[in-house]
Amino acid sequence: MTQPIAPEMQAFRNGMSRLGAAVNLVTTDGPAGQHGITVSAVCSVTDTPPTLLVCINRNAFAHDAFVTNGILCVNVLADGHQDLSRSFARWTGEDRFSGAQWDRLATGAPVLKDAAVAFDCRIADSQPKGTHSVLFCEVLATRLSDQPGGLIWFNRAFHPLEARA
């Protein structure tokens, strides 16, 4: 039986649903195998050296593979990637990578060919915080697509973003 969520925790979760965030597929490959998950907790830390912060739940099926492989790619999704995002958000045992086309850059992590932008990274540090690992990821390669749009998660739903002149 699951424990009920405390009212203050539910209020926090409801509030966080109003904090719009880019939708990302974070992928890895290496000794622990090829894995990927949908992540919204990604942000820039610094540009010297280029570094991202990526938060992954330590109970996620792929968490240990990211840590063991020591590399990842943050694939920022565009409008039209909702189904792909849903596929990577759950673990059902199927080959989720077969639903898209992939490349490799500097680290060898899978890079989504039509991602709005891909940040290919080496995990430089990992810090536990609550239920998550906070990964500090040094960006070794960046690839921008010619798709200027994006996809955000806001109020528990997908919302496309389009570039305006």
Task: Give per-residue pLDDT as tens, 60-107.
Answer: 999 999 999 999 999 999 999 999 999 999 876 678 899 899 999 999
Domain range summary for the chain, segments of one domain joined by +: 21-152
Residue 53: Cβ-neighbour burial (10 angstroms; 0-12, 13-18, 19+): middle
Place of tokens 């409801």: 14
pTM over 0.85: yes
Q: Is it the case that residue 3 has pLDDT exceeding 80?
A: no
In this structure, what is the dihedral angle of CA atoms 32, 75, 21, 60, given to the nearest 10 degrees?
A: -10
Residue carrying structure tokens 């209020």: 11
> Which pLDDT does position 143 carry in this prediction?
97
Q: Which fold has domain 21-152?
A: Pnp Oxidase; Chain A (2.30.110)
